[in-house]
Structure 1
Amino acid sequence: MLYNLLRPLLFQLDAETAHTVTLDTLALLQKTNVWPKRAFRCPTNHIMGLDFPNPIGLAAGLDKNGAYINSLAQLGFGFIEVGTITPRPQLGNPQPRLFRLPAAQAIINRMGFNNIGVDKLIENIQQAHYPGILGINIGKNADTPLQNAVDDYLICLRKVYPYASYITVNISSPNTKQLRQLQNKVALKQLLRALKQAQTRLSDQHSHYVPLAIKIAPDLEPAQIKEIAALLLKHRIDAVIATNTTVARGGVTQLPHGNESGGLSGAPLTERSTEVIHQLARQLQRAIPIIGAGGIMSATDAQTKIEAGASLVQIYSGLIYRGPNLISEIAALLCPQSTHAG
């Protein structure tokens, strides 16, 4: 209810300012105990060797630097994913770079992996002392040549490994030049082999196995999805997140900001991301779990992702438009027998 009152005021601000104000306000409410902690627990969410209290996660991008983990944990998520983080700090793309399209319940962003760097992220995670399931989303620096991208991913993998419940490899953002080329067969094969070898070494070193997830784009042809699925199976990747934002502009070109460059998320992405999940599920045959993301604006959208083949779901744009009540609505539908604390 509080968010419903605040949203019209927040939407008067530019999108990036509103983003920061919202997170700072949430952090203040958490520290002063004004916002009661919510927790939704439902059974049978053993995925990637992890026991998720519920299947509803926060997608990467909202808390890039892991600065708001404790306050976001108050909202009832079953897991939180921070990042995308890169080896070195970077400013990202010039502002403005985040745009709301309220008439379409959509967002366009071209943030460009703006973040404080992996070392500072780890400091924030250590200070949070978050006991829940934490995903850390890793990427490459914008000025790292594509042929050296593997090195950036390995740097981040090694550094975040002791602090992550699972690690997501972001090869699908449209906002880092050429990044999506890493989804091509030859490049992806090389990357997955290197990541899996490093994961094996790190598992032995730390006596602890941290699963790897790959996040893919919605703008893939069926043949590409089939190739990617085969490589994920071959290299025994632990999960796939479908999907990132889209470069397509169906249904929004006539709207203010509808032709801005960047990745489109929200309601216009709903059907396409679900179709990618459908195709992946057909190829993977439940051998690798799918985390469904993209255009989950209602509890029904989340259920549709699960029915298409996802084991878990993640939200971001839906949280911006619907607020924290979206989490409880999804929990009520997906986990009708769940216990609710807070």
Structure 2
Amino acid sequence: MQWSSFVAFALFAPTHALIRFGCSQLVVDRLDPLVNPGQNPSPHLHQIIGGNAFNTSMFPEDLDPPKVATCTTCQPSEDFSNYWTASLYFRARNGTYKRVPQKGNVGFEGQNGGMTVYYMQNQLADYQQLSKVKAFQPGFRMLIGSPEASTKEQADKYPQLTYTCLQDMNTRFPETKDFPKKPCPAGIMVNVRFPTCWDGVNLDSPDHISHMSYPASGTFESQGPCPASHPVRMPQVLYEVIFETKAFNNQADWPTDGKQPFVWSFGDTTGYGNHGDYVFGWKDDSLQKIMDEACYVNCKSMKTQSIDAMNACSIPRRVNEDIGDENWLEAIPGQPMIR
């Protein structure tokens, strides 16, 4: 279904909060304060959006993003969270690499790269959004997926990390667990959906995953119940990252063995290693107020800023290296070996 249909329906439907917003690029850098705090550079390159308090080590006890950040690349002006995924590369027939840029989604065409973020109480197509959720708390952080996954069986542990081969900007189906095998006219959309059941105690865990859980049965979309170990229902966070592949869609440039040419910045050519990271940073109780409001996309309690303001927020890269935006690289930064 096209997004315009969602918006049109939302004008008339009694609803509770679902929000969808764009975030411009904050920085593309080889840092990962969640998995590799203090490590500069981290093992692989990431593309990061959100508040400009992002740094090499974001320990909860040392950092309160809403108080430290002075701007955010996201449309909600009170959201100083940070959201990030790995970067994507194209491997040419001669074995060299170039980074694949990102572009704005439908409705956010003017933003500088970045991605689209959703917070949902029910599934995306459910305009009612009647389920109540508890917003994330200060200090909360999580990740989902594993860069070590290299088979479908390993990737299936994380059921809602997928790819959509965009025929146009409104394409949403089908979704696959691995990289598309053919050129995608409007780009490759990476979908990262986080678990929604919290243990109610821990703001983080050693693996940054186990304080969260999928429903005990069914799915988030089917309103499956949370397990007793993780009884608190939270919003589903969804990233849609659109990689603009038009400069790389000529199959004459693809590998001669017929394999697809895209590689994650951590060296994965299968796509099964798809993963995403999240560090909460909404100001005060602003997210809870939005989640409690009867609204769909356009929520009165969500303060917003212009795309120009989003694009104006950025931070310099801390790792001084060529990431392949202009030049073709002999190797992906930090990844001499590609699997």
What TM-score do the two structures reach when normalised by structure 2?
A: 0.28
Structure with greater strand percent: 2
More helix, by proportion: 1
